[in-house]
């Protein structure tokens, strides 16, 4: 069971890495489209801030071409995976022991006099 869990974690990690790479390839394509169309400021800023590349791609879908699909699909997969992980953390059971202060949990109780 432990090996299966490790393999599942590896597969999810690889899917996440591919989705992030797909998003960034799309952002790079939008940056190149901005620079090729004379939008020097958009191209320069979107190279360092990928959400600006997505904004440029939404505003100029015809100019960016294929990179718009890469940005949307890669970004959607990343967003879904992060939301599933966030939701999964909230479904974990709460521990019932050791609910006190950190020092109370670490230090033994003082002897009664």
Indicate the domain borders of the chain.
12-85
Against a cut of 0.75, is the pTM above it? no
Are the C-beta atoms of residues 67 and 25 closer than 8 Å to each other? yes
Task: Please give the Cα distance from 44 to 53 (Å, whole number).
Answer: 10
Looking at residue 83, its pLDDT comes to 93
pLDDT, one tens digit per residue, over 64-74 is 889 999 999 99
């Amino acid at each position: 069971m432990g090996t299966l869990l490790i393999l599942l974690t590896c597969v999810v990690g690889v899917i996440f890495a591919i989705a992030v790479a797909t998003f960034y390839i799309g952002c790079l394509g939008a940056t190149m489209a901005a620079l090729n169309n004379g939008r020097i400021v958009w191209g320069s800023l979107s190279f360092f801030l990928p959400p600006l590349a997505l904004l440029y791609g939404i505003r100029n879908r015809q100019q960016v071409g294929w990179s718009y699909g890469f940005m949307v699909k890669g970004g959607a997969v990343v967003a879904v995976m992060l939301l599933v992980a966030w939701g999964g953390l909230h479904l974990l059971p709460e521990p019932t022991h050791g609910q006190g202060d950190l020092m109370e949990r670490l230090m033994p109780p003082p002897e009664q006099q």
